[in-house]
Amino acid sequence: MLVVIHTTGGYKDNKRLVIAEKEAEMVRELFELYATDQYSMKQIEKIFWNKGYRNNNGKRICHSTMSNTISNTKYKGCYVGNKVKIIDMFTKKVLTA
């Protein structure tokens, strides 16, 4: 299974972010595995490699790319135009942007 990771996990369509469903399944699984606190990013990288997830070059999706995905506020649903409100997903506290 080839899953291409874009910087925003989707693409722009008429200036709107649209979910790329092929990627969304993997991104949801990434957040679920990360939230268990049982796996390191390197372990998740290996899990995804074994499941057949690949980047757009057919190579491993690097653990640093996954870390960037986890920290990207757009994946958390916090993006509103040029106004970004960052809320920690564990403590629910508002962080400064």
> In this structure, what DSSP letter does residue 85 have?
-
Looking at per-residue confidence, does 11 or 76 come out higher? 76
Residue spans per domain, the chain:
10-95
Q: What is the pTM of this model?
A: 0.66
Calpha distance 58→70 (Å, rounded): 21
pLDDT, mean of residues 49-63: 90
Q: How far apart are CA 55 and CA 15, in angstroms?
A: 25
Q: What pLDDT, in 10s, does the model give residues 21-37?
A: 778 888 889 999 999 99
Which residue, 61, 58, 56, is CA-closest to 44?
Answer: 61
Residue located via tokens 């564990």: 90
Q: Which two tokens stand for residue 19?
A: 């979910």
Q: How far apart are CA 2 and CA 90, in angstroms?
A: 31
